[in-house]
Amino acid sequence: MKKKTIVVLTGAGMSAESGVSTFRDSGGLWEQYRVEDVATPEGWYRDPLLVTNFYNGLRRQLVTKEPCEGHRLLATLEQDYNVRIITQNVDDLHERAGSTSVLHLHGELFKVTSSRNPNDPSQIRTLPYDAPDVKIGDKAADGSQLRPFIVWFGEPVPNIEPAIELCGDADIFLVIGTSLNVYPAAGLLRYAPMGCPIYLIDPADVHCPMSVTHIRKGASEGMKEFISLLS
Amino acid, single-letter form, for residue 211: S
| Site stretch for ligand OAD (CB under 6 A), options 75-83, 139-147, 164-172, 199-207 | 199-207
| Site stretch for ligand OAD (CB under 6 A), options 54-62, 128-136, 197-205, 207-215 | 197-205
* Spatial contact of 188 and 86, defined as CB atoms under 8 Å apart: yes
* Spatial contact of 67 and 73, defined as CB atoms under 8 Å apart: no
CB of 2 to ligand OAD, least distance (A): 30
* Spatial contact of 38 and 50, defined as CB atoms under 8 Å apart: yes
- 106 in catalytic set: yes
Looking at 50, 63, 136, 204, which residue binds ligand OAD (CB under 6 A)? 204
CB of 211 to ligand OAD, least distance (A): 18
Site string for ligand OAD, 152-181 (x = CB under 6 A): -------------------------xxx-x
* Spatial contact of 163 and 190, defined as CB atoms under 8 Å apart: no
* Residues in 4-43 at the binding interface with ligand OAD, rule: CB under 6 A: 11-13, 16-17, 22-25, 28, 39
Q: 184 or 193: whose CB is closer to ligand OAD?
A: 184
Going edge to edge, which strands form the sheet with 82-87? Answer: 102-104, 82-87, 5-10, 172-176, 198-201, 213-215
How far apart CA 21 and CA 19 sit, in angstroms, is: 6
For residue 25, the number of C-alpha atoms closer than 13 Å in the C-beta half-sphere is: 14
Looking at 119, 169, 203, 214, which residue binds ligand OAD (CB under 6 A)? 203
Q: 100 or 181: whose CB is closer to ligand OAD?
A: 181
**What is the distance of C-alpha 43 from the center of its chain?**
21
- Of residues 71, 94, 104, 106, which has the active-site annotation? 106
**What is the distance of C-alpha 194 from the center of its chain?**
25
How far apart CA 94 and CA 18 sit, in angstroms, is: 11
* Spatial contact of 91 and 74, defined as CB atoms under 8 Å apart: no
CB of 202 to ligand OAD, least distance (A): 5
Amino acid, single-letter form, for residue 70: G
Looking at 91, 118, 218, 226, which residue binds ligand OAD (CB under 6 A)? 218
Q: 34 or 139: whose CB is closer to ligand OAD?
A: 34
Residue ranges that bind ligand OAD, judged by CB under 6 A: 11-13, 16-17, 22-25, 28, 39, 88, 106, 151, 177-179, 181-182, 201-204, 206, 218-219
